[in-house]
C-alpha cells in the first residue's frame, strides 16, 4: 500500500511539474530566412504568446551571427530582434533559444549563402515590353487548388466578382505564348494570400506578406515560375502593397503596437487627394486623412511612421527579391503611403540592388503632380521620393480620349493633339526613360471597349505603345482586343477569363491557329511590332521630335546618331498624304525606308496613308 501511495505521489509531482511548464509556441518569425552578405540590416519580428517575458539567444555562437538587441513591443506577444551577420559568417541553420526560468525552447532559423551576383541583378528598362497578368483570370493549371480548406472564399467561375481558379501553374503553362508575343517582362497582380470573404481574386488585400495564396500555388512554385520565366528571357515584376493590409491578416487580432495601423474613432476613408503632399496651400488635416485614412473597410491603412513596421517592409521587399530572384517591383497606390518613410523604403531596396527598378502607381492626370513622385525630381519642397519609375497616366488618358475622338470629332486640342500635348510637357520629368506607358490596365476600361471593337484604332494604340518613349505595358488579352463582358459592371467584367485557360473551354486563344477575324488581325500586328521593338535601340533610348497638326494626324520621329524611325498616325476616316517636306529638319536626305509592318520599301515623297491607320518607317543614316 505504501508503494502505491509513493507512486501516486511521484506521478502527482511529475504532473504538477508538467503543468507548471508554460505553454510556448513560436507562431511567426519574419523574415522567414536570411542570407550572408546582405546590405540590409536584419531585424526579426517574433510572434509568440508571452514572448516578451523570455530571454533569447542565438546558437551556435562564434559563427558570425550575433544577437545585437531586443526590442519589446506594446503587445507582450512580440519582440523585435536585431541580428548582425558578418561578411564571413557561416551559412546554415541557427537556433533561436527562448528561455524562461528553467524552461528552454528552440526554433531553427536559416542563414543561407547568397546567390552569386545577386546584388548586381538587372531590372526592367525601356528595352522591355511588360505584359500584365491577373492570375485568377489567366489560366487554371491546377484545378485541385481552386478552393482550399485553409482559405475562406471558394471558386465560382460563374460569378465575375469571385475567384475563377487561375493560378501560377497556369501562368507557367503559357509562358511560351507570352514570350512569342514579344513580351520581355511580366507583371502579375499580387499573388500573396488574400483571405477576404469576397473579391479576394484581385490580391490587393494582403493577409500574409510571406505566403503565396494557396489557391495560386506555393512559395516554391512561385520561385519555379520565376526560374521558368528567366529561361525564356522574361523578367518578373512583383506587385506589392505596403499602403494597406487586410483586416484578415493574422496580426490584426493582436497588433504589435497600437499605431501599427492608423486608428480612428470611427471608420474614416482616405480622401484620395494626394495633391496634399505637394500643395503649399493644403491643410494638415487633409494631408493626414489622405495618407492615414483607410483604402477600404477591410483594408487597414499601415502606419509607415512606425519604425518597426518600416523595417519590416524593407526586409520583406528584399527577402522576396533574394528568395525568388525577382527583377523588379510595381508598388500599388504609391502616394497614399507616408511619403518620407516610403522614400527611405525605396532607398533601402536600391542600396541592396543598385540596378533594380521600382515603378510606382501614381494615378493622376496632372503632369506636375506625377513628376513630383519620380526620384531625383527638382521639387520645390526638397522632397526626393527615391522612386525610380512612375506610371504615365496623363499619356494613358490622352491616348484613350483620342481613340474616341477619331475622324474630325471634337475640336481644337482634341484627338491626336492630346497625345502631342502630353509629350510637349516632357520637360517637366526628371527621367523619361523610367516611365511606364500604357493604354489600359486591370483597373481601367478595356482598351478594346474604348476603341469600340475597331481593330484599326486598336492597332493605332499598339503602334503608339511600341514607338513612344518609355516602357510599354499591355494588359493580358489586349493583343487579341478582349472586351468586357458587361462594361457597366466595372472591374470584375473587364477582368475576363482567357479562353483556353480552363479545361472545357470551347476555344483556345493561346493557340495562334485558332485566332480568327479581328483577334487574329490585332494579334498578328502586335506580334510583329513588339518583336521588332525588341532590338530597336533607337526606340529604347532615342530622342523624340514631333510635329503639331490640327487635322487629327500626328507625326513624330525617334532618332539617334545612326537610326531614324518615323511614325505617322492618321486618326481620321480620310486618306492623308504625308507632308514630307514639312519635316525637313530630320527628313532631309531620307527619301525611302522600310515599312516596319510589311517589310516593303517606302518612298516618302507623296506617300499616302490609309484612313485610321499608322505608318511606321525605319531608316538608317
> Which residues are catalytically annotated?
332, 361
Q: How many helices (H) and strands (E) does the chain have?
A: 16, 28
Strand extents, DSSP E, 200-282: 208-212, 235-240, 244-246
Rounded to 5 degrees, what are φ and ψ at 328? 175, 165
Rounded CA gap, 548 and 555, in Å? 8
Q: Which three cell numbers stand for residue 475?
A: 494588359
Rounded CA gap, 254 and 189, in Å? 28
For 316, the 3-state DSSP assignment is helix
CA nearest 134: which of 57, 91, 188, 59?
188
Q: 92-100 and 55-59 as β-strands: parallel, antiparallel, unpaired?
A: antiparallel
Listed in sequence order, the residues at least 6 apart from 229 whose beta carbon sits closer than 8 Å to its beta carbon are: 175, 186, 235, 236
Q: Which three cell numbers stand for residue 231?
A: 529561361
Q: Which three cell numbers stand for residue 389?
A: 519609375
Count of beta carbons in the 10 Å neighbourhood of residue 222: 24
First to last CA, the chain: 110
Rounded to 5 degrees, what are φ and ψ at 252? -70, -25
**Cβ–Cβ < 8 Å for 237, 124:** yes
Q: Is the peptide bond before 31 cis (omega within 30 degrees of 0)?
A: yes
- Residue 231's H or E segment, with its range, is helix 219-231
For 558, the 3-state DSSP assignment is strand
CA nearest 238: which of 249, 223, 228?
223
Alpha helices in 424-454 (DSSP H): 447-450
CB contact burial 120-136 (16+ within 10 A = b; e otherwise): ebebbbbbbbbbbbbbb
DSSP state of 439: S
SS3 content of the chain, % helix, strand, coil (to 5): 35, 25, 45
DSSP state of 261: B
Rounded CA gap, 32 and 607, in Å? 63
Cα dihedral 605, 610, 614, 618 in deg (nearest 10): -30
Listed in sequence order, the residues at least 6 apart from 538 whose beta carbon sits closer than 8 Å to its beta carbon are: 558, 559, 560, 562, 563, 564, 565
Amino acid at each position: 500500500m505504501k508503494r502505491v501511495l509513493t507512486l501516486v505521489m511521484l506521478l502527482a509531482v511529475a504532473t504538477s511539474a508538467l503543468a507548471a511548464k508554460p505553454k510556448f509556441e513560436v507562431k511567426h518569425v519574419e523574415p522567414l530566412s536570411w542570407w550572408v552578405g546582405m546590405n540590409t540590416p536584419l531585424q526579426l519580428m517574433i510572434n509568440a504568446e508571452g514572448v516578451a517575458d523570455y530571454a533569447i539567444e542565438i546558437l551556435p555562437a562564434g559563427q558570425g551571427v550575433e544577437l545585437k538587441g531586443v526590442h519589446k513591443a506594446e503587445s507582450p506577444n512580440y519582440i523585435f530582434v536585431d541580428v548582425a551577420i558578418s561578411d564571413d559568417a557561416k551559412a546554415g541553420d541557427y537556433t533561436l533559444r527562448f528561455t524562461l526560468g528553467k524552461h528552454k525552447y528552440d526554433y531553427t532559423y536559416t542563414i543561407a549563402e547568397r546567390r552569386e551576383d545577386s546584388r548586381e541583378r538587372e531590372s526592367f528598362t525601356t528595352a522591355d515590353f511588360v505584359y500584365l497578368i491577373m492570375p485568377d483570370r489567366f489560366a487554371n493549371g491546377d484545378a485541385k487548388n481552386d478552393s482550399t480548406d485553409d482559405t475562406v472564399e471558394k471558386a465560382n467561375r460563374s460569378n465575375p466578382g469571385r475567384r475563377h481558379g487561375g493560378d501560377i501553374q497556369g501562368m507557367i503553362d503559357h509562358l511560351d505564348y507570352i514570350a512569342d508575343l514579344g513580351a520581355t517582362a511580366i507583371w502579375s497582380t499580387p499573388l500573396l494570400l488574400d483571405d477576404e470573404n469576397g473579391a479576394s481574386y484581385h490580391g490587393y488585400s494582403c493577409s500574409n506578406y510571406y505566403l503565396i495564396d494557396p489557391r495560386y500555388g506555393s512559395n516554391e512554385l512561385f520561385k519555379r515560375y520565376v526560374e521558368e520565366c528567366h529561361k525564356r528571357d522574361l523578367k518578373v515584376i512583383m506587385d506589392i502593397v505596403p499602403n494597406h493590409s487586410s483586416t484578415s491578416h493574422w496580426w490584426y487580432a493582436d497588433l504589435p503596437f497600437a499605431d501599427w495601423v492608423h486608428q480612428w474613432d470611427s471608420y474614416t476613408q482616405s480622401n484620395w487627394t494626394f495633391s496634399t503632399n505637394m500643395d503649399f496651400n493644403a491643410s494638415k488635416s487633409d494631408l493626414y486623412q489622405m495618407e492615414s485614412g483607410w483604402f477600404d473597410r477591410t483594408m487597414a491603412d499601415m502606419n509607415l511612421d512606425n519604425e518597426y513596421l518600416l523595417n519590416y517592409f524593407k526586409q520583406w521587399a528584399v527577402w522576396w527579391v533574394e528568395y525568388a530572384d525577382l527583377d523588379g517591383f510595381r508598388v500599388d497606390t504609391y502616394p497614399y503611403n507616408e511619403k518620407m518613410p516610403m522614400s527611405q523604403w525605396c532607398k533601402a531596396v536600391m542600396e541592396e540592388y543598385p540596378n533594380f527598378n521600382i515603378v510606382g502607381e501614381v494615378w493622376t492626370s496632372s503632369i506636375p503632380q506625377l513628376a513630383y513622385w519620380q526620384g531625383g525630381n527638382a521639387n520645390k519642397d526638397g522632397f526626393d521620393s527615391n522612386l525610380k519609375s512612375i506610371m504615365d497616366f496623363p499619356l494613358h488618358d490622352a491616348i484613350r480620349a483620342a481613340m474616341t475622338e477619331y475622324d474630325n470629332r471634337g475640336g481644337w486640342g482634341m484627338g491626336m493633339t492630346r497625345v502631342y500635348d502630353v509629350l510637349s510637357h516632357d520637360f517637366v520629368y526628371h527621367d523619361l526613360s523610367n516611365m511606364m506607358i500604357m493604354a489600359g490596365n486591370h483597373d481601367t476600361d478595356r482598351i478594346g471597349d474604348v476603341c469600340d471593337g475597331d481593330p484599326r484604332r486598336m492597332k493605332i494604340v499598339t503602334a503608339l505603345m511600341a514607338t513612344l518613349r518609355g516602357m510599354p505595358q499591355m494588359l493580358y488579352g489586349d493583343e487579341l482586343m478582349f472586351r468586357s463582358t458587361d462594361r457597366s459592371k466595372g472591374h470584375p467584367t473587364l477582368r475576363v477569363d482567357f479562353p483556353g485557360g480552363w479545361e472545357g473551354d470551347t476555344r483556345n486563344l493561346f493557340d495562334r491557329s485558332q485566332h480568327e477575324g479581328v483577334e487574329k488581325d490585332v494579334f498578328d500586328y502586335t506580334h510583329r511590332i513588339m518583336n521588332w521593338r525588341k532590338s530597336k535601340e533607337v526606340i529604347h533610348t532615342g530622342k523624340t521630335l514631333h510635329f503639331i497638326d490640327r487635322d487629327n494626324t500626328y507625326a513624330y520621329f525617334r532618332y539617334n546618331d545612326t537610326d531614324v524611325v518615323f511614325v505617322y498616325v492618321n486618326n481620321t476616316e480620310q486618306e492623308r498624304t504625308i507632308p514630307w517636306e514639312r519635316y525637313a529638319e530630320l527628313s532631309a536626305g531620307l527619301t525611302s525606308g522600310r515599312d516596319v509592318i510589311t517589310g516593303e520599301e517606302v518612298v516618302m515623297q507623296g506617300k499616302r496613308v490609309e484612313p485610321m491607320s499608322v505608318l511606321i518607317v525605319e531608316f538608317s543614316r
